[in-house]
């Protein structure tokens, strides 16, 4: 998600991501995933603040606005709701 420059550092990103998380919990979605350009520290920090964790990265997966290939980090957030796990027995 992208927030315009005039709205940055005012909590808009947190509000939007928290809303997505709350709706995903209501809908019973177990995992949210995000791919973020590795040099986008603000977005990585926002996702960490909202309960995401880094689970890996992909090399040279996308170009930035200058046409430079960038790595992306893979971030994930698991539901806080209890989930019944199927037994393999």
Angle at 50 between CA 44 and CA 23, to 5 degrees: 120
Place 65 in a pLDDT band, splitting at 50, 70 and 90. Answer: confident
Residue 61 lies in a domain: yes
Residue 47: per-residue pLDDT: 96
How many structural domains does the chain have? Answer: 1
Question: 22: domain range?
Answer: 5-78
Instruction: State mean pLDDT over 69-73.
Output: 94
Tell me the CB-side half-sphere exposure of residue 1, using CA atoms within 13 A: 15
Give the domain CATH number at 53: 3.40.630.30
The overall pTM is greater than 0.85: no
Residue 65 lies in a domain: yes
Residue 62 lies in a domain: yes
Q: Which two tokens stand for residue 78?
A: 């698991």
Which candidate, 11, 73, 68, places its Cα nearest to that of 41? 73
Place 89 in a pLDDT band, splitting at 50, 70 and 90. Answer: low
**Starting from the edge strand earliest in sequence, which strands make up the sheet with 53-63, in order?**
31-37, 69-78, 53-63
């Amino acid at each position: 998600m992208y927030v315009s420059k005039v709205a940055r550092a005012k909590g808009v990103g947190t509000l939007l991501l928290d809303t997505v998380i709350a709706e995903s919990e209501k809908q019973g979605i177990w995992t949210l995933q995000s791919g973020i350009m590795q040099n986008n520290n603000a977005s990585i920090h926002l996702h960490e603040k909202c309960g995401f964790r880094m689970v890996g990265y992909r090399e040279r997966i996308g170009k930035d606005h200058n046409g430079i290939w960038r790595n992306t980090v893979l971030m994930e957030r698991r539901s806080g709701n209890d989930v019944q796990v199927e037994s393999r027995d």
